[in-house]
Amino acid sequence: MDDSYLVLTQTPIIPVIAIEQLEDAVPLAEALVAGGLTHLEVTLRTECAIAAMELIANKVTGATLGAGTVTTSQQFASTVSAGAQFVVSPGHNEALFQASLDTAIPLLPGAVTASEIMRVTGAGFPIVKFFPAATSGGHQAIRAFQGPFPGVNFIPTGGVNPDNLSSYLSLANVVAVGGSWMLPTALIRDKDWDGITQLAAEACNLASSLQTSKEI
């Protein structure tokens, strides 16, 4: 695996964040980092996403910033300019492949079928975003892909939560998961950053305990 992709294997959980209010960007990111979740995927699902990324990149010590829901090369360029150190897409296309190759910024392309995985890995991308995981076969599907794709690693996202976390993290071909269960709307609305830190720490502790039970 290219060294640039190690950034995607250094944490078992990547919070998937939709920032609705720009003023929440820095304290929310700081709360997650304080709880041990340092690799943050800020999605392009809100109007202030790019501005939020810029603030986090410039003001939050210890955060490794990623951009999510990126579907075009123009979005790829905008998020990298905002400070993104890795880019995540729900799918994949040639324009995104080329943008990643041109910039040396790691791309996590989405794929859930054998043909899609072959297209992604054939283009030189070693880690696949398995999305939406819950409705695409879940951990059973990822386990089944170990046979035909022994060198491919996955980061499942979509429907991942504490109840099924062990099913994913126990798989040898899962390097991390993406999720938002540690970001309940009520806590963000109330700006309960200590509550977010506590949930992040609980997620970290749970993931750490599960990482010791990897399948071979």
Q: Quick: pLDDT tens for 83-117.
A: 999 999 999 999 999 999 999 999 999 999 999 99
pLDDT surpassing 80 at residue 211: no
For residue 200, the enclosing domain spans 3-207
* Catalytic residue status for 116: no
pLDDT surpassing 90 at residue 209: no
* Catalytic residue status for 41: yes
The number of residues making up the chain comes to 216
Q: Which of 20, 23, 30, 41 is catalytic?
A: 41
Distance of CA 115 to the CA centre of its chain: 22
Tell me how crowded residue 89 is: count the other CB atoms within 10 A of its CB.
Answer: 24
Q: How is residue 164 written in tokens? A: 């099924």
Q: How is residue 184 written in tokens? A: 């309940």
Q: Which of 129, 191, 202, 214 is catalytic?
A: 129
The CATH code of the domain that includes 181 is 3.20.20.70
Of the candidates 49, 110, 128, 33, the residue with the CA atom closest to the CA atom of residue 83:
49
Tell me how crowded residue 26 is: count the other CB atoms within 10 A of its CB.
Answer: 17
Number of domains in the chain: 1
Of the candidates 155, 164, 160, 201, the residue with the CA atom closest to the CA atom of residue 181:
160
pLDDT surpassing 80 at residue 208: yes
Does any domain span residue 215? no
pLDDT surpassing 70 at residue 16: yes
Determine the pLDDT at residue 212: 64
pLDDT surpassing 60 at residue 216: no
